[in-house]
Homo-oligomer: A and B are copies of this chain.
Amino acid sequence: MIGAYIMISATPGSINTIVKELRNIEQIENVSVITGEYDIVVRVTVDNIQYLADITDRINTIKGVSKTHTHVIMRELRA
């Protein structure tokens, strides 16, 4: 299993619509609208690195997404 944080930039005015669409992707555990260079961060868990590209592709087809930036999790401690 490979986890990742995917940062998403939205075109102006489309954040709320994107957030709704992201809820339909089951590999996404958490959706946060954040301050900073990117507008939204999601946490995903997938079976392998090739499948991570599929999820990124799927997010990129959502209307209003202008850019994604993936950070692969190499090690993790959860509370």
Count of residues in A whose CB is under 8 Å from the partner chain: 48
Q: For window 46-79 of chain A, which residues contact chain B by CB distance below 8 Å?
A: 49-50, 52-53, 56-57, 60-62, 65-79
Chain B CB count within 10 A is highest, among A50, A62, A77, for: A77
Q: How many copies does the complex hold?
A: 8
Which 5 pairs across A and B sit closest by C-beta, in order of nearness? A12-B60, A53-B74, A35-B70, A34-B71, A33-B75
Which residues on A are within 8 Å of B, measured CB to CB? 2-5, 9, 12-13, 15-16, 19, 22-23, 28-38, 41, 49-50, 52-53, 56-57, 60-62, 65-79
Are B35 and A74 neighbours in the complex by a CB distance under 8 Å? yes
